[in-house]
Structure 1
Amino acid sequence: MDELMRRRVYGADHDDPDPGPQPGHAYRELVGGPLDGLLVDVTGWEEDALREGAALSTEIGAHGPGGRAVYQPRAADPRFWDWQGDTP
């Protein structure tokens, strides 16, 4: 758990003094692609959304600013979301 608490959360500002996870929140770890290693805060997400994953905005993906990186839950362990590719 200590290692998880040192990770950066997707969407946190680079100059945020505390860009890590917050107590009481639920997170998924992003694996692969442009957002590899970040955590996404899924607190309050509906079960359907958790099963689908997300297309997350990123400026460093294949489509540059305005593009999205698509992540879906890993079948064997849905705490990890694997990169599926980029989309405009």
Structure 2
Amino acid sequence: MNGDEQLLRGRVYGCDHDAPNPGPLPARTYAALVGGPLDGLLLDITGWTAEEVDGGVALATELSRWPGGRALYDPGADEPRTPGRGVACHFYYSGDTP
């Protein structure tokens, strides 16, 4: 694991690594990112509809194949979701886009 990957572990996407609390908050709902450049991060999906979750995400990152590009993540097919707070589902890496 390189330094950039180590920095991301246990952190919420979009929080600065040096923020006072870059980790998950108890009253929020998250998708765990699996694989790719953002592996190990949590994505805050609090308030997202089922359709929004089903659509997956394109997340900006300097760690993608194209610096300044986006890493694509999609929910697992037929994977159950846990309603409520904490990690509700997983989003799996499916590629990069400029």
TM-score, structure 2 normalization: 0.78
* Runs of 4+ that moved beyond 6 A: none
Find the counterpart in structure 2 of residue 84 from structure 1.
Answer: 94
Matches of 2:51 and 2:73 in 1, distance apart?
14
Matches of 2:66 and 2:78 in 1, distance apart?
29
How many angstroms does 1:24 deviate by? 1.2
Query: Is 1:63 aligned to residue 66 of structure 2?
Result: yes
Find the counterpart in structure 1 of residue 10 from structure 2.
Answer: 7
Q: Which has the higher contact order (CA 8 A, sep 6+)?
A: 2
- Give the match's secondary structure for 1:35: coil
User: What 5-or-longer segments of structure 2 have no aligned partner?
Assistant: 1-8, 82-88
CA displacement, residues 18-43 of structure 1 (integer Å, 9 cap, x when unaligned): 10111111000000000001000000
Matches within 5 A, 1:9-88: 9-65=12-68, 67-77=69-79, 79-88=89-98
CA RMSD in angstroms comes to 1.4
**% identical aligned pairs:** 52
TM-score, structure 1 normalization: 0.87
Matches of 1:36 and 1:7 in 2, distance apart?
10
- Give the match's secondary structure for 1:48: helix
